């Protein structure tokens, strides 16, 4: 009989959320692929996401730490939180005793809480999405990254200029997202699932998980730019948003909620979105003609992403300006423009890299 750690390996996924669900969703996509390739695997997620219910909805168990948003709102002191995080991480890793830990974005943890475990007897895989150059070149970041056995790059080979320590094994898996076109609902079923009208055009609007006044303002600008558009406007319900941006005057606006929303993308004819990794890649893969508005983030260079995808002819760039956005929406309403964007997007990102990432992780066993 083969050892238990080989027949039923334990894998710990560590995901620190930012302003949305990007890190958790990417990890879930990989975990789902691992489960398909090695059904006996035992999984555990360790996360700070305030929307950790989505982990359970995908069929995984999780251990929850407070998010940075929760810390700020509740007045929990940083020193207290750091001690709590280090203790929870160490005890979770010790108790679960994983064969592999898969970490996203922060090789040492957002508060360096992983440092004490990086020398423990387990394999380590790091999901290295492109970040700001100065962040990638930081000596501390590079030192922590050197502790890993595998670097999974969720980008097409050669599409990003990453700073990776010499000798670290690399697996360029391609863009990773949680659902592919083949896994989505039909347009009719998707609209029924979201409570949208069965006919007529629908514009999807999403600015991530929410949690900031900036996101609420973006929604207000977009709704003003779309005023008079003969479309139903489906606004994604942001799980972290506390500011109400909709009012009774927006009679053609419907708030929609589903996880993962990509399952329902066939319901939409077009989209206005922030420039985050997950949503943008999903929209491009599904061929949803989109206006993408970049936001400044500490780690993610959304401006570079929007510039690259615009140059490839798969999106229209947007700004938080009513007149500019209205002009782009007019272009998006043109059938020929929409068709060209859709076809180019489908050809650019044909499939998710989750399966390739999962195979590379299982090769560590």
Q: Which CATH number fits domain 181-348: 3.40.50.2000, 3.40.50.720, 2.70.70.10, 3.40.50.740?
A: 3.40.50.2000
Q: 216 or 315, which is more confident?
A: 315
Q: What token pair was written down for 104?
A: 């996203």
Q: Would you state the pLDDT for residue 240? A: 52
pLDDT over 50 at 243, yes or no: no
For residue 297, what are the contacts with CB-CB under 8 A and spacing of at least 6? Answer: 18, 19
Asked whether this chain's domains 4-175+352-362 and 181-348 adopt the same fold, the reply is: yes
pLDDT of residue 18: 52
User: In the chain, what are the domain boundaries?
Assistant: 4-175+352-362, 181-348
* Lowest-confidence region among 3-7, 88-92, 109-113: 3-7
Residue 188: pLDDT over 90? yes
Residue linked to tokens 């390996």: 9
Rounded to whole angstroms, how far apart are CA atoms 111 and 140?
12
Please tell me the predicted confidence (pLDDT) of residue 2.
Answer: 42
124 contacts 118 by C-beta, under 8 angstroms: yes
Residue 82: predicted pLDDT: 87
> Is residue 348 scored above 90 in pLDDT?
yes
Q: What is the pLDDT of residue 132?
A: 86
Helix, strand or coil for residue 267?
A: helix
pLDDT at position 232 over 90: yes
Instruction: Identify the top-confidence range among 10-24, 184-198, 236-250.
Output: 184-198
Under 8 Å between Cβ of 308 and 281: no
Say yes or no to pLDDT of 241 above 60.
no
pLDDT at 3 over 50: no
Inform me whether the pLDDT recorded for 245 exceeds 80: no
Confidence of residue 331 (pLDDT cuts 50, 70, 90): very high
What pLDDT does residue 179 have?
95
pLDDT of 6 over the 70 cut: no
Average pLDDT, the chain: 90
* Residue 5 clears pLDDT 80, i.e. is over it: no
Greater pLDDT, 249 or 256: 256
Fold of 4-175+352-362: Rossmann fold (3.40.50)
| Global confidence as pTM | 0.91
Q: For residue 1, is pLDDT > 70?
A: no
Residue 242 has pLDDT above 90, yes or no: no
Secondary-structure breakdown of the chain: helix, strand, coil percentages, each rounded to the nearest 5 = 40, 15, 40
137: Cβ contacts below 8 Å, ≥ 6 apart: 163
SS3 32: helix
pLDDT of residue 211: 53
The confidence score (pLDDT) of residue 7 equals 74
Q: Is the pLDDT of residue 333 over 90?
A: yes
Query: 74 or 303: which carries more pLDDT confidence?
Result: 303
Structure tokens at 160: 């990003």
User: What is the pLDDT, as a whole number, of residue 248?
Assistant: 47
In this predicted model, what pLDDT tens digit does every residue of 12-59 receive, in sequence order? 999 886 556 888 999 999 999 999 999 999 999 999 887 778 999 999
Residue 239 has what pLDDT?
Answer: 56
Sheet holding 123-127, edge to edge: 62-64, 42-47, 10-15, 100-104, 123-127, 150-153, 169-172
Taking residue 7's Cβ as centre, other Cβ atoms within 10 Å add up to 11
């Amino acid at each position: 009989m083969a050892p238990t750690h080989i027949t039923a390996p334990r894998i710990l996924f560590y995901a620190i959320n930012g302003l949305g669900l990007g890190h958790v969703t990417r990890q879930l996509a990989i975990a789902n692929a691992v489960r398909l390739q090695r059904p006996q695997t035992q999984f555990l997620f360790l996360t700070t996401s305030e929307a950790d219910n989505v982990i359970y909805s995908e069929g995984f168990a999780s251990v929850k730490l407070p998010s940075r948003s929760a810390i700020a709102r509740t007045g929990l002191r940083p020193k207290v939180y750091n001690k709590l995080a280090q203790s929870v991480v160490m005890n979770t890793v010790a108790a679960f005793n994983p064969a592999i830990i898969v970490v996203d974005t922060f090789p040492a943890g957002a508060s360096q809480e992983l440092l004490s475990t990086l020398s423990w007897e387990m394999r380590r895989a790091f999901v290295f999405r492109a970040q700001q150059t100065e962040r990638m070149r930081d000596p501390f970041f590079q030192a922590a990254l050197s502790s890993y056995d595998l670097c999974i790059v969720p980008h097409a080979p050669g599409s990003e200029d990453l700073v990776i320590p010499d000798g670290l094994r690399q697996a360029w898996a391609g863009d990773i997202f949680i659902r592919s076109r083949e896994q989505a609902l039909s347009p009719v079923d998707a609209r029924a699932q979201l409570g949208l009208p069965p006919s007529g055009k629908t514009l999807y609007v999403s600015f991530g998980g929410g949690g900031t006044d900036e996101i609420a303002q973006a929604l207000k600008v977009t709704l003003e730019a779309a005023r008079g558009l003969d479309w139903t406007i489906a606004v994604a319900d942001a799980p972290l948003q506390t500011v109400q941006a909709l009012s009774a005057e927006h009679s053609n606006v419907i708030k929609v909620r589903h996880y993962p929303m990509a399952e329902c993308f066939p319901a939409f004819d077009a989209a206005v979105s922030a420039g985050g990794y997950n949503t943008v890649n999903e929209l491009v893969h599904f061929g949803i003609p989109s206006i993408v508005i970049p936001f400044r983030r500490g780690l993610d260079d959304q401006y570079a992403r929007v510039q690259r995808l615009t140059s490839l002819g798969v999106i229209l760039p947007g700004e938080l300006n009513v007149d500019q956005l209205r002009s782009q929406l007019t272009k998006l309403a043109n059938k020929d423009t929409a068709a060209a964007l859709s076809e180019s997007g489908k050809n650019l990102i044909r499939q998710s890299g989750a399966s390739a990432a999962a195979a590379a992780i299982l090769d560590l066993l």
